[in-house]
């Protein structure tokens, strides 16, 4: 696919799309029903559906039984950390290796023509963006992800006798599942706006924006406060009536959305 059919390249080789980012029809006012109908398939495909499926896989097959979360067991916490980290390394690694190691797409559709590995800078641990991003993900983001997941599952483990089933309230849970991405976007918009306020930016958010030429591992390369705020969106599912499966979906939706950019499979 020729990227010049969709944008242009400057003298340095950086690519810019012809069309600027537009607002999704769901958020347009006054509503545009036809545009909304046309847009609906892209709401589900591909990643929304993939994260819903991964949450189901975790809930139905991969997580320890909910009863194991009633009393603290270190082995359960370790299991969660290893499961989350293995899956994340596999998923992020797939895009990282294809795009930045094998460079299967070359420089096509690349906003910044340089490779992230060329960005040697003192702002990164070991002066390397990729080492910094991977270490921050493994040492800061994944423990916090695991902590949030553990707290939510412990909460539900103590609700077991009265845990609502998906079948008892199909319409409510289906509607809640449908708006998980909307909840994510709204929450992300609000915390992102807040984190761009001068003092918060300097204290917390600048860590994330050190990666000015982001690769997949840049998504969770954040200050711990930002990781907690960002993945903490899943706590909504212990505040409103919900189900562990939907809490996992909310968490996966936030955590697995690596910066793949305009990746062409
Ligand atoms: Zn920002």
Say if 179 falls within a structural domain: yes
Say if 244 falls within a structural domain: yes
CA 197–ligand 1 middle distance (angstroms): 10
Half-sphere exposure of 247 toward its Cβ, with a 13 Å CA cutoff? 24
CA 196–ligand 1 middle distance (angstroms): 6
Q: Give the domain range for residue 238.
A: 59-255
Say if 78 falls within a structural domain: yes
* b/e burial code for range 67-86 (CB count within 10 A of at least 16 → b): eebeeeeeebbebbbebbbe
CA 192–ligand 1 middle distance (angstroms): 6
Say if 12 falls within a structural domain: no
Residues in the chain: 265
Instruction: Please give the helix or strand (H or E) that residue 16 lies within, else none.
Output: strand 15-17
Looking at per-residue confidence, does 257 or 130 come out higher? 130
- pLDDT tens, 153-171? 999 998 877 777 778 888 9
CA 23–ligand 1 middle distance (angstroms): 18
Say if 21 falls within a structural domain: no
Say if 75 falls within a structural domain: yes
CA 243–ligand 1 middle distance (angstroms): 31
Say if 264 falls within a structural domain: no
Say if 199 falls within a structural domain: yes
CA 205–ligand 1 middle distance (angstroms): 7
**Full-model pTM:** 0.88
Structurally, the chain folds into a number of domains equal to 1
- pLDDT tens, 100-156? 888 888 777 777 777 776 678 888 898 899 999 999 999 999 999 999 999 999 999
């Amino acid at each position: 696919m020729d990227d010049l059919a969709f944008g242009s390249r400057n003298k340095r080789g950086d690519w810019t799309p012809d069309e600027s980012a537009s607002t999704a029809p769901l958020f347009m006012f006054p509503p545009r029903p036809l545009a909304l109908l046309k847009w609906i398939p892209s709401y589900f495909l591909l990643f929304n559906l993939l994260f819903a499926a991964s949450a189901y896989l975790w809930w139905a097959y991969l997580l320890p039984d909910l009863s194991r979360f009633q009393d603290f067991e270190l082995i359960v916490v370790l299991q969660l950390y290893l499961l989350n980290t293995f899956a994340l390394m596999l998923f992020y690694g797939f895009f990282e290796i294809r795009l930045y190691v094998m460079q299967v797409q070359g420089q096509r559709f690349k906003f910044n023509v340089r490779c992230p590995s060329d960005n040697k800078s003192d702002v990164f641990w070991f002066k390397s963006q990729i080492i910094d991003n991977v270490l921050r993900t493994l040492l800061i983001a994944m423990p916090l992800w695991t902590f949030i997941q553990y707290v939510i599952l412990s909460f539900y483990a103590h609700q077991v006798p009265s845990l609502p089933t998906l079948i008892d309230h199909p319409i409510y849970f289906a509607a809640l599942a449908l708006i998980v991405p909307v909840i994510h976007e709204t929450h992300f918009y609000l915390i992102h706006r807040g984190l761009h306020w001068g003092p918060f930016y300097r204290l917390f958010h600048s860590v994330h924006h050190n990666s000015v030429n982001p690769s997949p591992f840049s998504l969770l390369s954040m200050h711990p406060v930002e990781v907690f705020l960002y993945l903490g969106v899943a706590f909504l599912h212990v505040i409103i009536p919900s189900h562990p499966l939907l809490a996992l979906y909310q968490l996966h939706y936030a955590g697995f959305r690596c910066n793949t950019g305009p990746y062409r499979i």
